[in-house]
Amino acid sequence: MALKIKLQRAGATHEPVYRVVVAEARGRRDGRFVEKLGTYLPKQKDAAKQLELNVERAEYWMSVGAQPTDTSNSLIKRARKEQAAAAEA
């Protein structure tokens, strides 16, 4: 069973809400998932509320072989930067 960290779309028309999930690679985009790691709200104006992601769990899943998609990988990197900036402050 190959796992991927990918985005699952939810929300209304023109108001997308994405869940960052760990799911089977061959499954549907909005299908069943193993674990929900966070949410991404692309239309949110406040950058702090735009991305909520459990970075520790994402790193765990990557350590056991889950491959992030390009978009989810960029979101994970962004969440790491935000987490590091919050730790400094």
> Is residue 57 packed enough to be buried (19+ CB in 10 Å), middle (13-18) or exposed (0-12)?
middle
Span 41-55, mean pLDDT? 91
Average pLDDT over residues 47-68: 93
Name the nearest CA neighbour of 8 among 25, 33, 44, 26.
Answer: 33
Q: What is the torsional sign of CA 61, 25, 7, 75?
A: positive
Sequence ranges of the domains in the chain: 3-88
Q: What is the CA radius of gyration of the chain?
A: 13
pLDDT tens per residue, range 2-39: 999 999 999 999 999 999 999 999 988 888 999 999 99
Looking at residues 75-86, what average pLDDT do you find? 93
pLDDT of residue 89: 75
Judge: domain 3-88, CATH 3.30.1320.10: yes
